[in-house]
Amino acid sequence: MREIIFDTETTGLDNKQDRVIEIGGIELDDHFPTGRTFHVYINPGDRQVHPDALAVHGITDEFLKDKPSFAGIVDELIGFFADARWVAHNATFDMGFINAEFARLGLPPVTNDMVTDTLALARRKHPMGPNSLDALCRRYGVDNSHRTKHGALLDSELLAEVYIELIGGRQTTFGLQSGDGGGQAADADEVIVVAGQRPHPLASRLTQQESDAHAALVATMGEKAIWGKYASSK
């Protein structure tokens, strides 16, 4: 399965008036990076970069003057994303802008069934948050120290690492082998999950706030609650 982890930078927050000025994407095949990337800067025409947006990404009107229009890069964009899932953090924002740009050119929108929102994934997995990209990088030990400004390609690279962690991609390895050690291949439809033994346990990803909140919840369940046994064993 092909997926493109992508990000956009824009002139502002209103996709009906503001424009996309940068798109970056990282290709994954079965959740593994292929090394293929997509990156363009885009001239927004007569729409200027809002000062608040400039403070976030640092992309100036002067820098964008000699860049191609969205119409000039759209074929390359569609070719790179063809038949792949679009994966973004807070995808509603990015897809709103992409589809607005497509609509201006009379192109069909990308439908929701082709989009994965990593923010929604993170909120389900970590309901107490925080779930910004920076917060998830800290949670999963992804080095984002070089991220002084937002940038579409850099943010895509960081998000690709976070996404693989969110879906558990680094927790197990998969192999078509028997589990009995006999060396015979498993059936073609059978996938054996082999989890490697870590030499040292991973540090807890729970924050102190999350741990305290859990303890407070367990305390309300009464003395016979099974969760009390686990809490008392820590």
For the beta carbon of residue 149, count every other beta carbon within 10 angstroms: 13
From 98, 130, 131, 129, select the one nearest 114 (Cα to Cα): 98
Cis peptide before 199 (omega within 30 of 0): no
Q: Which 8-state DSSP code applies to residue 176? A: S
Please list the alpha-helical segments (H only) found in 82-174. Answer: 91-104, 118-125, 133-140, 152-166
Catalytic residue numbers read: 150
Instruction: Give the tens place of pLDDT for each residue, 75-105.
Output: 999 999 999 999 999 999 999 999 999 999 9
Tell me how far apart the alpha carbons of residues 176 and 5 are, in angstroms, rounded to a whole number: 28
Q: What one-character DSSP code corresponds to residue 115?
A: E
pLDDT of residue 215: 77
Closest CA to 82 of 180, 4, 147: 4
pLDDT of residue 58: 94
First to last CA, the chain: 40
Per-residue model confidence (pLDDT) at position 213: 80
What does each of the 234 residues of the chain score in pLDDT, given as a tens digit?
999 999 999 999 999 999 999 999 999 999 999 999 999 999 999 999 999 999 999 999 999 999 999 999 999 999 999 999 999 999 999 999 999 999 999 999 999 999 999 999 999 999 999 999 999 999 999 988 877 667 899 899 999 999 999 998 654 344 333 344 444 444 434 444 444 555 666 666 667 887 778 777 777 777 766 666 655 555
Q: What is the pLDDT of residue 173?
A: 40
- Residue 188 has a pLDDT of 39
Q: What's residue 10's pLDDT?
A: 98
pTM (two decimals)? 0.71
CA atoms of 81 and 213, how far apart (whole Å): 42
Q: Do residues 24 and 5 touch, judged by C-beta distance below 8 A? A: no
Residue-level pLDDT at 159:
95
Four-residue CA torsion sign, 63, 67, 70, 75: negative
Element holding 212 (H helix, E strand)? helix 208-219
CA 35 to chain centre: 17
For residue 232, the model assigns a pLDDT of 55
Query: From CA 135, how far away is CA 207, in angstroms rounded?
Result: 12
